[in-house]
A and B are shown apart, each in its own frame.
Chain A
Amino acid sequence: MTDAQSELTGTPAHAGVFTLVITGAPYSSQAPQTALDFARAALKAGKQIDRVFLYGDGVHLASALLAPPSDEANLARAWADLLTEHQIPGVACIASALRRGLVDESEQKRYQLPASNLVAPFEIAGLGEWVASTASDSRVLYFHKGA
């Protein structure tokens, strides 16, 4: 066995299951598009994605109010379609989301805000969702603003 092979089998990602964590915002970083390209390639190759977790500025990806010019990619729509088609849970961190004005109807009521703007099928939940992925056999990949 070569060193490279031994390194590969030594990773915890033996099942080919990925969790994607996106922390870079759409339209100010490439992270959401890079992650989308990775997700499409992974699914096409028969791999699984068990969860997409939006954290930090990445939560803007779950906004229903993004309205980019028609000749640019609508990243929120593209991600929502991919998650729906493959029944992948999409979660926006609640602390990151509330700070940045991304709320679902429940948080809108709780904080008496004038509107909600979370695009389905994204849900708002705590960091425990990310912890669950890190504690599992999934390989957790991070897409930061430089990605």
Chain B
Amino acid sequence: MSTPKRTLIIIDQAPYGSFEGREALDMAFSLAAFDQTVSILFSGPGVNWLRKGQLAADIHQKSVEKNLAAAPIFGVQALLANAADCELFNLTQDNLLEQVELVKLTPELTGQFNHITFAG
């Protein structure tokens, strides 16, 4: 019998500069759609995915805000953000999307998952 997987997908690149993060998000939603346990961790410049008021249409892209807001509804267990990186990029409760859980990036945190992958 298979070991139940608890997947963590780490997005550590800023949004819109490359497609890796967006496709990692698709991976997370796919896992959730198949009733697999998945959380997403934003770290480094990746925390900027969680900033309110993104004007992606100005650069002919779709904003990821709505997708991220819907993540818990679609079954993504948690949207985690490395607290130290949020501070570095001046992300506070005022300009951070709701439903984001600030965490400290430690071995104890990653140890809660048995399948961890980066966006690319």
Contact = CB atoms under 8 A, between A and B. Distances in A.
B112 interface: no
Interface in B12-35: 19-20, 23, 26-27, 30-31, 34
Nearest to A96: B23
Contacts of A131: 30-31, 34, 36
Counting chain A residues whose Cβ lies within 8 A of the other chain, the interface size class is 20 to 34
B111 to A, nearest CB: 10
Interface in B66-120: 114-115, 117-118, 120
A12 B1 CA distance: 11
A66 interface: no
Contacts of B117: 21, 140, 142
Interface residues of B, number: 18
Contacts of A128: 30, 34
A37 to B, nearest CB: 20
> Which among A128, A135, A144 has the highest number of chain B CB atoms within 10 Å?
A135
Given A135-B36, A137-B2, A140-B117, A130 B19 contact: no
Contacts of B36: 131, 134-135
Contacts of B30: 126-128, 130-131
B7 interface: yes
A127 B117 CA distance: 15
Interface of A: 11-12, 21, 23-24, 55-56, 95-96, 126-128, 130-131, 134-137, 140, 142, 144-145
Interface of B: 2-3, 5, 7, 19-20, 23, 26-27, 30-31, 34, 36, 114-115, 117-118, 120
Ranked nearest first, the 10 interchain pairs of A and B with the lowest CB-CB distance are: A127-B30, A12-B3, A131-B34, A144-B120, A56-B23, A23-B120, A137-B2, A142-B117, A136-B2, A131-B30
